[in-house]
């Protein structure tokens, strides 16, 4: 029994050594799949098995070659334990990024934006504040793109403002950035309710307020109607996507960061935005995976099939919250496609 246990450990040991040593010679996605479990196993087993490995290599080269051959199959098999890892190999239409690649973000020294606060009461008959961030010289501009964020009620207004300021400072073109504040009203209206992005009733209740707010923004500011982007992160990213599908003529594109696609108001209506570029950026280590991964992949493929300018992007090595660092990058990409 002892020898059998040792043989199994020995086999896994060489599989891990092979994965870590020769991984760069095989497709990157396989290597990424194997590197984490292989490294962990080596840490645990090395004190016991390292002497055996050296002995086998020197005294029994034939056995070593046999184990090396099986290890090749083992390292490839690692990727099948989780579909998140092998998706790029079998779904060629998906755009993916490895955690070995940096996120290229454009930094630009710019003057602080002008901050306007709009009372939602006379506009939408709601309690709340809409935050508007404008370039200092916005009055001299004829038309500017509008980056319209719905606002994450869970993060709070102050936190969302900081995110918008980050986007403002890292966007090369002059834009108007808005946090609607409308979702805050739903939190105050239903203080004990647990919100779900798949709650059609809530979405139907808040959706009609947004056209009113955007119309008011167009009256007050020099907004280019051909360059209006709905965006958000996580919950309000999902709502931004649904809002674009609800009112496709109201926006020019959608950027949904860490946004799920399982709500029926999304996956059953993707065709509504087929003429508008949509970019959805997800984290490979998102907590929503792997439970809905196949559905997410299929939705991503359908999204990109509808419009060549649309993308469903999977970022390797990142968790749900880590996707926010890619927000400026993909905002710039989407602006370039309008």
pLDDT tens digits, 247-304: 999 999 999 999 998 888 998 899 999 999 999 998 877 876 656 777 888 888 899 9
Three-state SS for 145? strand
Residues of the chain with CATH 3.40.50.1820: 114-336
Quick one: tokens of 199?
């709650």
Of 272, 236, 276, nearest to 256 by C-alpha is 236
Q: CA–CA separation, 185 vs 141, rounded Å?
A: 32
pLDDT range class, residue 47, cuts 50, 70, 90? low
* Architecture of the 114-336 domain: 3-Layer(aba) Sandwich (3.40)
Dump pLDDT digits (tens) for 183-206. Answer: 887 777 776 666 778 888 888 888
pLDDT digits (tens, 9 = 90+) for 94-118: 454 543 343 444 445 567 889 999 9
Q: What is the pLDDT of residue 98?
A: 43
The Cα–Cα gap between 291 and 311 comes to 21
């Amino acid at each position: 029994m002892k020898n059998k246990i040792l043989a199994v450990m020995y086999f896994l040991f060489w599989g891990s050594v092979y994965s870590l040593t020769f991984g760069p010679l095989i497709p990157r996605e396989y290597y990424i799949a194997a590197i984490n479990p292989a490294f962990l196993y080596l840490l645990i087993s090395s004190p016991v098995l390292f002497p055996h490995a050296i002995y086998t290599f020197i005294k029994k080269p034939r056995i070593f070659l046999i184990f090396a051959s099986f290890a090749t199959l083992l390292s490839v098999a690692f990727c099948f334990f989780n579909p998140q890892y092998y998706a790029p190999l079998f779904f060629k239409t998906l755009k993916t990024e490895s955690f070995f690649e940096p996120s290229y973000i454009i930094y630009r020294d710019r003057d602080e934006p002008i901050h306007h606060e709009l009372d939602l009461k006379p506009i939408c008959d709601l309690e709340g504040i809409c935050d508007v961030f404008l370039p200092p010289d916005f009055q001299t501009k004829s038309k500017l793109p509008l980056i319209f964020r719905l606002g994450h009620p869970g993060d709070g207004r102050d936190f969302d403002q900081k995110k918008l300021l980050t986007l403002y400072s890292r966007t090369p073109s002059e834009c108007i950035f808005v946090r609607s504040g409308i979702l805050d009203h739903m939190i105050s209206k239903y203080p004990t309710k647990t919100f779900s992005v798949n709650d059609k009733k809530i979405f139907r209740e808040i959706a009609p307020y947004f056209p009113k707010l955007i119309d008011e923004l167009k009256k007050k500011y020099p907004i280019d109607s051909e360059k209006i982007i709905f965006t958000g992160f996580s919950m309000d990213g999902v709502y931004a996507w649904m809002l674009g599908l609800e009112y496709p003529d109201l926006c020019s594109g959608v950027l949904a960061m860490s946004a799920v696609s399982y709500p029926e108001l999304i996956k059953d209506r993707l065709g509504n935005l087929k003429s508008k570029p949509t970019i959805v950026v997800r984290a490979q280590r998102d907590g929503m995976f792997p439970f809905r991964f196949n559905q997410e992949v299929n939705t991503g493929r359908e999204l990109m099939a509808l419009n060549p300018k649309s993308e469903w992007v999977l970022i390797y090595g990142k968790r749900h919250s880590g996707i926010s660092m890619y927000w400026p990058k993909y905002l710039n990409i989407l602006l370039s496609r309008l």
